[in-house]
Every structure is written in C-alpha cells, then in structure tokens.
Amino acid sequence: MKPIQILFATLALAMVATAQPRNLPAGYIVETVNIPKEITLGVGGMAFMDNNILLICTREGEVWKFNTQDGQWELYADGLHESLGLWIDRKKGDVYVMQRPELTRLVDTNKDGKADLYQTVNAGWGLTDNYHEYTFGPVRDSKGNFYGTLNTSLSWPGWAGSDKWDKARVHDSKMGRAAKYRGWSFQITPQGKFVPYSMGMRSPAGIGINGQDDIFYTDNQGDWNETSTLHHVVKDRFHGHPSSYYDHPKYIGKDLNKISIEEYRKLRTRPSVFIPHGELANSPGEPVFDTTQGKFGPFAGQIILGDQTRSNLMRIHLEKVDGEFQGMVVNFISPLQTGCIRGVFGPDGSFWVGQTGRGWGSVGGKQFGLERVRWDGSTTPMAIHHISLTKTGFDVHFTLPVDAETGADPANYNLLEYEYQYRPQYGSPKSQQKKLVPTSVKLSKDRKVAHLTLPLNAEKVYQFNLSDKLRSYAGADIVNRVAWYTANRLLK
Amino acid sequence: MRSAFLFSLLFTAGLVVAKPPAGFGTPDTEITLGTKHGQMRFDQEALAVAPGAKVKITLKNTCEMLHNWVLVKGGTGERDRVSGKALQLGAQSMVKHFVPDDPAIVASSQIAMPGNTVEVYFVAPKEEGDYPYVCTLPGHAFTMVGTLAVSKNPKGALDRLNKARPQVRAQWPLLVTNKPLLQRAFVQNSPARSICVGLPGGVNYLFDAETCAVQYGWTGAFLDVGPDRKGRGGRHCKILGQRFEVGAQGALQVGDGKPVFEGYSRLGTPELFYRVGNARVSQLITLHAGLAGGILKRGLQYTFKVAGAKGTVTFKLNPEQVLAEASAGKWNADKTALTLSAKEAGEFTVTLLPKN
C-alpha cells in the first residue's frame, strides 16, 4: 500500500477546537484531529516516537505515524492482526506492537521510515478463532519486562454461536477459556520468556504502569465482575474471573464448578477501585498516569482513564491503605466525540485520546478518532482534587479554597454507602445502600480540604454527592460533583 | 533475472514489425489494447467485433514486462492448454514470441517490449461466439486474459461481457497490484495464527505461524477483511479466489525440534523465519507456474535456507495433492519426504503444482 501523505498547511488546520464537551473543567480545551478520509483509525495503541511523531496502531492492523507538528500521516506498518497496543524503545528506536497472536518488534532495517522486519518477541499464550480473545498491552517495567493481559473467550454457545469454545465456563457464566492462559496477565522477560503472571481477568482492555513499576488494569462489567473496575496486578494474584483457574498448575484437572462462589470470593483480591457502571463507565480503556508534573494541570500523579462506551475521561486517585491500593474515581471531561480507549501524554504535557466506537456503540457516534486535551497552563478549575481516607472519615481535597460557610455545612456532603455482589451473573446492582451525612465537617486553614467525620465500614463503596451550593471561595461551580471512593480497607 | 535473459535473446533475434498482410486493405475495426502497469492485466478485458470483420489490434505495452496477445477459439480450456504449450517452446520461445503452433490459435501478436507497440491484423471468425485472449508469457496467463466477442451486434455483446465479468463481491477487499500484501487474520477453517500473503500474479497462500507451514494456496483475488473490520470484527476473513492444496505436512523437520516462529521480512516478497531446534530456517515463497497434466497451473515455490542444522533436514508432503520438484536432496520412494544433508539444506527450492 502506498503511504498516504497529506500535508496540512498549518497545525491549526490539522487540529480543530470544535464544540467543547458539556463537562469540561475551566482551563481545559479539547481539539479534534482531522483524519484523512483514506485512513480508518480505530485506535488500539499510541506512543510517541520522538517529540513530534505520534505512532498509532489500529484495530485494523495498521501502524501510522502522525506528525503532530505538520499534520502529516505516513504508514509505518500494516497487515497486523488487530494491534491493540504499542511500546517504543526510544533509545534503540524499536517499536513493540501487541497483536492478537503475538508481541512483535517492528524494525526499519533499511531506514526508509517504514518497518520492514516483523520479529516475533513472544507468542506464549493460546489463541483460537473466538472473536473475544483479545490481547492487550504492552507496558514495560524498569527492569525491561513487558506485561500484557488476555481476554477470556466468549464461551457460552448462545452468544458465541458454537459450542466449540464452551470450555471452563464456571457456574454457568458466559465467558470461559477456550485456549491456554485466557483471563491471565503475563510477563515477557527481557530474554523473551513467557511467564503467566496473575489471573482472573474478564475483559482487561486497558493496562497501565506508574513510575514505581506498579501495574494496573481495567476490567469491564460482566460475569464475575460487579461493575467496571481498576485492579492492581501482582504476581499470582487472582482478580476474580474463575475460568483462568483452568490453567493454574494446582487446579489442572479439577472441576471448577465444584468450588463455591464463596470460596472464589475468598481467593480473589478486590479491585482497587470500583467504577460505577452506567453512571461513570461502561467499558474502561487504558489507565494513564499523569507524569507531566503539572504541565497538564493540578492532577499530577493521578490516573486519566477513558471509557469506550461513554466517551468520557475520568480521574482516579490512588492511595495505599494497609499496604494495598484503593481510592477515588470522578468524572473529568465528557463527552468526547467517540469511545476513549487509549491515551498518551505528549512531550508538551497535553493528553492525546485515541478513540474507537466501532462495534459497541459510543456516545458521540463517530466510528474512530483522535483528540487532544490541553490545559492552558494557568487556570485552576474548581474541582474535587481527590478524596482520601482518614481514621475518622474522609478528607475531600479541592483544587481551590471552598466557600467558608457552605463548605463547612455537612448537609452539602451527601453520601451513599453501598456494596456490590461478587457473582457469576452479569454485573451487580448496588446493595446494602445507606444514605449518610457526615456528623461534622471541618475545613483546613486554606479551606482546600474538608475533613468529614462519619462512621466507616470496610469493603464498601462511598459515593459522594456534593450539593450545588458547594462552590469555590470565588463562587466557581464544581464541574463534576459526584465521586466514588472504594474503601476495601480501613486505616488501622 | 529471467527478464534480463529474455531481453538479450530478443535483441539478438531482432525485431520484426508486423505489417498488414498483402491485400488486407483498410481495417473495419481498430482496437488499441493497453497493459496495466504492475498488475499483470490487459486494460480491456472485453472486446467485440463483427463476424468476418477485418481487425487491427494495437497492443500498447506501458508496463515494464514483456507481453503478447493470443486469440484462441474453443473456450477457456483451450486457452489454458495453449498457454501451457507456450511454456514448452524452450529455446524456440523468443523466436516464436511464446506462440506455439496450434490450430486453436486464431491470431497472435509478436512480443511487445516494455514501452513499445505491436500490431496484429486478422480477419474475425465468421462464427459468432466468445473467443478468449491471453498473454502467453510465463506466469502471465492467469491474470492477463480477456474475451473477444464475435457478434452481429458488437455493442450488445460488449455490454453482455461487461455485465457478466466476475465482480469481487467483498465488504473490504485487499487487492494485490504490483507489490505483495501480507495480512494476519482469522480465516475460516484455518489456524488462529494465520498469515495470509497475496503475491502479484494472482497467487496467494496461508502460512500458520504456530506450526510454521503453508496450509494452502489460492488463485485469484486476495482477501476480504470486511468480517474483521466491520462491526465488532473478529469474524473470519474470506479468501477471494480458488483454493488449491499444497500437500502440507507440517514444517521442515530438523531432528525432533519443535518449530518456533520468529517473524518475517517485508523487504520485497515476504520471507518467513522460524527456528527448528537449533536450526534457523528462512522460507521465501514465490509464484510458480508450470504444467500439470498438460494444463498450465499456478502453484508455489519455496526457497529454504537452513542454517545450523546438525543432522539431516526433511521436507514432508502429501504427493496426492501436488506435483513436487526439488533442487536438492533425495525423495523417498513414494515421494512423501525429501531428505537433505545439512549442507544441501543450506539453500534449496521446492516447487509445488496443485493437482486439484
């Protein structure tokens, strides 16, 4: 295929700030990239090759070079089998791309700007022709290990259309395991060895890593997954979907249906963050840590997470409680033009959103797209910065001082405490719901923190509904006033 | 390489320019026929003339390969038979412009050199009907074809031919022109780790990266990837041509090593790499054309390079499906296995022509 090169006169023509999303914190701007009509860009992965070139791999199996300065597009590789992730070794110039059947290194041996050598790094997992057996990743840790996640198979014949994949469905759930290591995360060592890493994933469509080599993945609501979730990946951990036990060395040959739901519940590690289905996310993508140190605004260190169906961006703040991650999720920007599945920070601190809407439907309606979110570098929006657990309740941190009177009124902090049920059925309703109002609210001296006192219980989700009376000292509204905190553990 | 050889032969043989036969007079119909650059196709695949018309065909070769034009009576079976016969001309090939002596041939041109024009003058048959035409240069006869209708109503006949021409019915066809295409995809009844390759000349194959062996080939158009790129995708892509078997019996055997796929190069024609035990194998797969039972057929040629083999190397196949020839090694009695020494395996070719 001939590389399509379309030269835009200026970046202003390549990027258009069109109608801005309804929910947009002050100081943020959304720009949409004009994609040449010859390109179908169902984004699967993104990474910067250098300060200008954004490399984008697609569900269609192509890899495109997008010059963010002059708007030129050039084909870098093609013929891949559904490429859903990229990682670039910027020192060596090697591009790693995750395809359904393997992790591949792309090399441009003749330096003509296009990959010509496609090297298999590893293909250690099983794969059938079941459409749901996605392969996601890679991320790479500081030691040079790659990590990826493997989707379960769609195994129920009623949905899959054939009983040939009907293997390892547990307690009549819909997803199963038609090939080896479906539902596992894996590690590929610098020597190229495949190591099954953790298990219990259902639809682990996004994987991310922070600067301390902590790996997280998102999962979609479904069987054995109460709602959309964010999980901390730790070796040998069981995250919840039991079909993956089929490949666990201690369980090989055992009848997984003889293990009770209660036993699986005890075996699993709860998600770090529950992301309420329907309210905030339906199919979360890649969790991207804000490593811009303030270039992208006041949320440095948090996770920016997009959702495919709802086409929104969320923010997640994590903290360690009793040795485990848990934390808060809140909406950030919504809606964008179509499903947000991938994200990457550019060298200037702007956030690029890779989008696809094909097949599942997305708010916004477009089939695919590329957008950029920029912060103006000066405006601090009035927002919930994060919520953290205290021994006596929660601290709600605001980006700006809150109004002294309304900010100290407990009636402006309506809480809902609830649980989800871990079960083989598709998703879970909220249960054990209890409305709460803090017994007291005290503001910090700078009025940026509200100390809430209330009774706490472990393994609950706390939903914060901030009243619209709650405003900044200057009267600014809070853009997203509902947040959720997953309290798996309490401070001792 | 082959074309360089042809060039030198042609120049030594000299070029004869065709003139209208004495007494031919003014043609009733003049047709200019072109060649599609890099696509191994005539630019018109349907022509029509009146019965007994004096016809002048001008073949304008705008492609970098050599071509000719041969009109045949008796249908496409006769066309393929004549094309096969053209391959057997041997040393006479260039002198005869790849046109054998055959009663089925109605008219034929000389070879048109790249960028050159040749002319053919002939009187159309009196008998109405469809007459296939073809370029009989080696490997061209599969895609460089067309039909000339002889009809009292040439315009109506042309419309009929154009409507009847097989259309590629596909949601999202990947079509090969002058460069090979490679696409990894799910294909019906094929392994999950399939690699599909379409070669110029209308031959395609499917290689399984799990077992490191070609599974089958097909002639004609390449692949419809619509089922993978429409809706949620993940459905089986469709091969667009006619499947043929290659006698597949797994990867090259080197000791009892298990094949492990290592990737491929896409500099030019795809070259596939894998490891069998300690041996490193590269396999280049190209179009091979030849005669099977007197009929011109398309198949595949494997060029293997095996480095680091300790013992013998074995290539296995099912001889019921293919006619196979090898450049080195020794076939066993029933031709199910070719065994090569480590040295012979350094570089050797196997050509396969389907029997189906």
A185 and A154 within one domain: yes
Residue B95 is predicted with a pLDDT of: 87
Residue A334 resides in a domain: yes
Q: Range of A101's domain?
A: 1-118+272-376
Q: Using the predicted structure, report yes or no on whether residue A471 has a pLDDT greater than 70.
A: yes
A244 and A142 within one domain: yes
If you count them, how many residues does chain B have? 356
Superfamily of domain B10-164: Cupredoxins -  blue copper proteins (2.60.40.420)
**Test mutation, A83, A112, A129, chain B, max B CBs within 10 A:** A129
User: Which residues of chain A are within 8 Å of residue B265 when distances are taken between CB atoms?
Assistant: 109, 116-118
Taking alpha carbons only, the member of A244, A262, A251 closest to residue A197 is: A244
User: Which residues of chain A are within 8 Å of residue B269 when distances are taken between CB atoms?
Assistant: none
- Cβ-contact B196, B206 below 8 angstroms: yes
From B232, which residue of chain A is nearest by alpha-carbon distance? A359
Of A326, A341, A376, the position where a domain reaches its end is A376
A416 and A442 within one domain: yes
Residue B272 is predicted with a pLDDT of: 98
Residue B38 is predicted with a pLDDT of: 66
From A60, which residue of chain B is nearest by alpha-carbon distance? B229
- Averaged pLDDT score across all residues of chain A: 95
User: Which residues of chain B are within 8 Å of residue A59 when distances are taken between CB atoms?
Assistant: 229, 233
Residue A148 resides in a domain: yes
Residue A219 resides in a domain: no
Q: Tell me how many domains chain A contains.
A: 3
User: Which residues of chain A are within 8 Å of residue B235 when distances are taken between CB atoms?
Assistant: 131
Residues of B with CB under 8 A from a CB of A: 179, 181-186, 192-193, 209-210, 228-229, 231-236, 261-267
From A110, which residue of chain B is nearest by alpha-carbon distance? B267
A143 and A258 within one domain: yes
CA distance B98 to B111: 8
A184 and A57 within one domain: no
Phi, psi of B84 (to 5 degrees): -65, -40
User: Which residues of chain B are within 8 Å of residue A100 when distances are taken between CB atoms?
Assistant: 184, 192
Residue A379 is predicted with a pLDDT of: 97
CA distance A483 to B10: 81
**Test mutation, A75, A80, A81, A112, chain B, max B CBs within 10 A:** A81
Q: Using the predicted structure, report yes or no on whether residue A1 has a pLDDT greater than 60.
A: no
**Residue A138, preceding peptide bond in cis (omega within 30° of 0):** yes
User: Which residues of chain A are within 8 Å of residue B234 when distances are taken between CB atoms?
Assistant: 82, 130-132
Token digits of residue B267: 């500099």
Q: Using the predicted structure, report yes or no on whether residue A410 has a pLDDT greater than 60.
A: yes
A396 and A473 within one domain: yes
Residue with tokens 């295409």: B181
Of A220, A251, A270, the position where a domain reaches its end is A270
Token digits of residue A229: 């979730």
From B226, which residue of chain A is nearest by alpha-carbon distance? A60
pTM of the model: 0.86
Partner-chain contact A119 B181, CB within 8 Å: no
A182 and A299 within one domain: no
Partner-chain contact B234 A60, CB within 8 Å: no
A29 and A101 within one domain: yes
From A41, which residue of chain B is nearest by alpha-carbon distance? B229
Partner-chain contact A79 B234, CB within 8 Å: no
* Helices (H) then strands (E): counts for chain B: 4, 27
Residue A325 is predicted with a pLDDT of: 98
Chains A, B: CB pairs < 8 Å: 82
Residue A5 is predicted with a pLDDT of: 43
Residue A16 is predicted with a pLDDT of: 75
Residue B166 is predicted with a pLDDT of: 64
Nearest chain A CA: its distance from B67 CA (Å): 25
Partner-chain contact B234 A117, CB within 8 Å: no
**Test mutation, B174, B181, B186, B207, chain A, max A CBs within 10 A:** B186
Q: Using the predicted structure, report yes or no on whether residue A81 has a pLDDT greater than 90.
A: yes
A171 and A136 within one domain: yes
How far, rounded to the nearest angstrom, does the alpha carbon of residue A127 sit from its chain's CA centroid?
24
Of A328, A358, A376, the position where a domain reaches its end is A376
Residue A302 resides in a domain: yes
Residue with tokens 């006033």: A481
Residues of A with CB under 8 A from a CB of B: 1, 40, 59-61, 78-82, 99-102, 104-105, 109-110, 115-120, 123, 127-132, 179, 358-360
Mean pLDDT of each 10-residue bin along chain B, 356 residues long: 35 45 89 84 94 95 87 93 87 89 95 90 95 88 90 95 76 90 97 96 95 96 93 92 93 94 97 97 94 84 97 96 96 97 98 90
**Residue A335, preceding peptide bond in cis (omega within 30° of 0):** yes
Token digits of residue B254: 């080197």
Residue A14 is predicted with a pLDDT of: 66
Q: How does pLDDT run across A38-57, given as a tens digit for each residue?
A: 999 999 999 999 999 999 99
From B198, which residue of chain A is nearest by alpha-carbon distance? A79
Residue A288 resides in a domain: yes
A258 and A189 within one domain: yes
**Test mutation, A1, A57, A94, A118, chain B, max B CBs within 10 A:** A118
Q: How many CB atoms lie within 10 A of CB A249?
A: 6
Instruction: Kindly state the average pLDDT of the residues A345-349.
Output: 97
Q: How does pLDDT run across A247-300, given as a tens digit for each residue?
A: 999 999 999 999 999 999 999 999 999 999 989 999 999 999 999 999 999 999
CA distance B306 to A69: 46
Nearest chain A CA: its distance from B225 CA (Å): 9
CA atoms within 13 A on the CB side of A414: 10
CA distance B234 to A60: 10
- Evaluate whether ipTM surpasses 0.85: yes
Residue A300 resides in a domain: yes
A407 and A472 within one domain: yes
Kind of pairing, strands B145-150 and B46-49? Answer: parallel
CA distance A333 to A143: 34
Q: How does pLDDT run across A203-218, given as a tens digit for each residue?
A: 999 999 999 999 999 9
Nearest chain B CA: its distance from A339 CA (Å): 13
